[in-house]
Amino acid sequence: MTTTTSSTIFDLLSFEATREQAKALYQLEEFIDPACEEDVFVLRGAAGTGKTSLVKAVVDFLEKQEIGCYLTAPTGRAAKVLGYKTHSIANTVHHTIYRVIPTDDERIVMERKANTQDAYSIFVVDEASMISDRNNSEGNFQTPGSLLFDLLVYVKQGNRRNKIIFIGDRYQLAPVNESESVALNLQHFMKKYDLTGQQAELTEVKRQEGNSPVLTLAHDIRRKADAGCALGKLNVNRLYNFTAGVTRYVNLYDTNRPDNVVMIGSANKNVHTFNKLVRERLGLSGTLAIGDQVVVNENWIDNHNLIVKGETGLVRGIDDSIEKRADLEFITAKIEFQDPEHRPLLITTKVLLDTLKTDKGELPGEMLRNLKADRMAKNSSYRANPNPANDPYIGAMRLRYGHGLTGYKAQGGEWNHVLLHPWFQENDYRYAYTAITRARETVTSWEKEGWGRS
């Protein structure tokens, strides 16, 4: 017999639900009930429609009902935002379901953890548009199956009645090299995985959000995307040129508030140029300096920590001496990240400086092979066991500067102010929408004249 709990869950809302939100909450209440035998719930909603407010009510309701609740997101940045908004601890999907397996080469191999928690639980996955269902064989990072498949296996391993709520915005960028965000499509779960569930979609922007210029612009992009209309010139604040954009960024930048401002671009080359000019204006000399904001460009691991590609950090300390190995340059740095509980995590590691000098943060395979041969010849421990953790140069962190990010790198994060690079593919609705909805307060761009397309 289903317990009537609707009044309780509605009491946990901080505002009066719209009819659309109320319908979704009734569906969620039914889904959460242990007597319900469904597997997945997909909650789709555009920016400003109240997804996060509903999720917070659900999380509070689960706690009140003494039902296990695990909050996750695809990236550390997205998990931080989710945890902040729900006043709970949220981890990355990778941290939740994987453990690292040591290898004798440069690969980082992930193995699914055993889910030994057999109490009935609900897993909540925010920013689910970023969850891929393609097997991960990218670079040196390997998982047993796709992220979506491995998550489903892990959740059901603990208790076959466990359920997952996928939350996201179908207008945002899909996973890299994929045309659709399959984790936001109930039919995908039904057809491929023979799972059952429900789907709800929020379309109405909340009244109290209605006067937000950012959400007004996002709604306009959604309307044009649905109608197949040309995107046209975006109605954002405009500066007269690229240099003015750099000035605006520097005026807003605060090392104590890394989420105050970001520049988002669609091309690595433009992002790299922006980062170089911002560093010059901030007086950050050399390839790496104290105060540099950086992004991890390749998954990094030592004996205790895994820093996943895309995580951002701040350089807190640096050794002035540069070391050369196989024509590559290295420096020792202290970089502050955040641990899974969002506490400061200070990592001391060697950094491969050469990746900071390139557009994409990558080096030719021949250079890396030369480095490996050098370390084989000079490091007996690495020669005996060629695990990256056994050599500080092979295991050096590979970074990019983090003042400007691509749309994919920025996805899942929020900043008070977003500077939008004006050069992106015509009618790329998802890119424009994703970049703009990263802003809490303002979006600013600049005129294209005098700044070449790349």
Task: Report d(CA 257, CA 356) in Å as an integer.
Answer: 23
Domain count, the chain: 2
Amino acid 209: pLDDT: 57
Domain limits for position 450: 212-454
- Please tell me whether residues 65 and 197 are part of one structural domain: yes
Does residue 302 register a pLDDT over 90? no
Partners of 202 in beta bridges: 45
Closest CA to 125 of 161, 163, 156, 177: 163
The answer on pLDDT for 30 being more than 70 is yes
pLDDT given at position 204: 87
pLDDT in tens, 64-90: 888 999 999 988 778 888 888 888 888
> Alpha-carbon distance 112 to 100, whole Å?
9
**Same structural domain, 200 and 220:** no
**Do residues 184 and 167 touch, judged by C-beta distance below 8 A?**
no
Q: What percent of the chain has pLDDT over 90?
A: 52
As a whole number, the mean pLDDT across the chain is 87
| Tokens, residue 323 | 């070391």
pLDDT at 197: 96
Tens of pLDDT, residue by residue over 333-390, are 999 987 766 688 899 999 999 999 988 778 888 898 899 999 999 999 888 887 787 8
Write down which residue in 143, 175, 205 finishes a domain: 205
| Cα(249)–Cα(419) distance, integer angstroms | 8
- Same domain, yes or no, for 240 and 143? no
Give pLDDT, residue 83.
Answer: 85
201 pLDDT above the threshold of 70: yes
Same domain, 178 and 216: no
At 311 the pLDDT is: 83
Quick: pLDDT tens for 238-297. Answer: 998 899 999 999 999 988 888 899 999 988 889 999 999 999 999 999 999 999 999 998
Residue at 1 is within a domain: no
- 32 and 165, same domain (yes or no): yes
For residue 324, name the pLDDT band (cuts at 50, 70, 90). very high
pLDDT for 340: 63
Residue 349 forms part of a structural domain: yes
Note the pLDDT of residue 73: 92
| Whether residue 153 has pLDDT greater than 90 | yes
Can you give the pLDDT at residue 453?
A: 38
Which domain-ending residue is among 153, 186, 205? 205
Give the DSSP per-residue string, 237-279.
EEESSHHHHHHHHHHH--TT-TTSEEEEESSHHHHHHHHHHHH
Q: Are residues 219 and 162 in the same domain?
A: no
Tell me: pLDDT of 419 over 60. Answer: yes
Residue 140: pLDDT over 80: no
Instruction: Indicate if 246 and 288 belong to the same structural domain.
Output: yes
Query: Do 216 and 280 fall into the same domain?
Result: yes
Mention every residue, 6+ apart, whose C-beta is less than 8 A from residue 298.
139, 140, 141, 309, 361, 398
Residue 326 and residue 243 in one domain: yes
pLDDT of 185? 95
Do 249 and 278 form a contact (C-beta atoms < 8 A)? yes
